[in-house]
Structure 1
């Protein structure tokens, strides 16, 4: 390509020198000096890829040599300079291209002052000279801008594709955490109750066999409920067009009496109190409140060693506070080296943060353990800066 470009440029120089001024029909033999300068200027185009500025300077110098030696100025004789101006605009930035075009135009205008305009009026000659020297730079700049635009569009498309992939991976990760949290709450609750009831059945069979069948029925009910909730949770992974997928609504505070009844069957008595007017909750907040109460009472059943727990719901216009406390042993995972830490507290905090709430959990100074959950009644509600949040 570079060889073809150089040969075509040299051919234009020969053609421009062969056409005598004032008689474009009759051709003459090219001047030897013009041929030599044309060869040098055309050969310098081989440097345009690595040194476009040097190429432009060299071809402009050749054009000035021709002009200062009395050779008639015309676009064909200045072909190496014009081509180098085009390549300069194509290879470099806009400022460099403008400087090169202005320098070449100024030099040729100065040379024309020395040897005249060849019989053409000065105004027409100046307009023509400016036009043919500035046109290559404008064309080259337009082509470079178009190339840069296409490259930027391709880069944006690539970035958008990568962003979509990262967003998809992030959503998959969040969904996995959400499903793991949901399964943990369901399994931990029902397995803890079933284990407590199974131990109670063993005790009753030894000391009060007449009461064992009732507790066994409660154990069966707990396992059936566990299977039902597991089926509902795992059913979320089914295809949308699967007619066998469950249609049960997500649990909320409306199902709180049934939840407390399951704990009472396991031997844990739960006292519930409500403060303030009940406010409507969004589905996410309602589910979060239910699951945190479920997990907190499950931890009481497993670790506290008490038969009484208290749940308090405090409503304000924009905030609901859920408090679960007990008077048993405040056992933290870090204080039990023989026990592998679970994900109960982690899951509760993640649930609270996912709907814009906050959670505090820890031992009480007077004994026992407390879990305090603050949730906005609406997803856009902000945590009140001066509004009192209930604590045990």
Structure 2
């Protein structure tokens, strides 16, 4: 079983724009699986290592000549090259069995150290890649044990190689090898120094690679957790928004009940009057029927408008409470002033007779805006403007922001409800900070009915 940390590391084991570009390039040639990519990695590094050895041979740095800086016999060069290539083969399974791959590579590395003469050591990229992979794909405790085991195996190879035990038994000694005394001192002390140097190299190669791998794994776990928290936060916010919208729709459904009850009551009364007058006063009966038809059409339009947005009706509303409208705004203003708010009201034009749902929308917008101003900017001056034209009614509520600035007014669920109400009746609602640094809520509603009552002067 793997830990969450290793799962996150595995998920991001080939992340980043460079890795993505490499995957796309390999996919074009048919290499699309992690195993296939690791086979390509092993092959590329094997070719690079052979090329480097060839370059050293070509320049005379490595070879059998007496002038070579790194002298070795011909059999040693052949075996060294073969082992260097073989060391990359296990990398094809580095994601599947990272610990086993590291140990196999460590054994091959120990073999390299044993067959080479004193003063010559070859380290390929295979131990680096293997130690890095173990640290990124396995828990820290497992990675530490695997790296220590690899260092232990390399230490055995270093001790055997420093004493020339294998080289002497194979009779691979050559006069081109630099004597140990020239590099590491004479006698047993030279063996100790060379062994310590080889062991230190093993510690650095495996330890540093594993440390880098652990750091990369921790970073990937951190990024994975951050993305998970961000996704959870977004989902939580979406849940809250859905809950707020559902609650607002439920409240709107209750108000629709009141609107429908109001109209249907009038329809019943006028239908009864028409029934009584149909014989004695046909003209008045016709007038009552025309009124019934008009109110029925208005009620039907309201129902058709709201059914497109409501998905749940919520609890059944009870009673026939009066539906609030713009005519009740004065009561809202008086209540706000009684609570200590400074509210200035400006009216222009003649207040139209709005459909009931639009009238409720205008009332609720003013109500919510006054509540928000009192909540977010207590003591600030609030200006309420009601502007009526032939085809439009505009309601604007502005208030000063607190000394902290516009951050106090953050978009909330009240604005969601106001916008939904406005859209329901074909209106528009805008809310935000003005260039003058004030918070402004503007509702614009279409007017289809004839004006019926004066707007009056400033309150």
Question: What is the TM-score when the length of structure 1 is the normalising length?
Answer: 0.45
**Structure having greater relative contact order (Cα 8 Å, sep ≥ 6):** 2
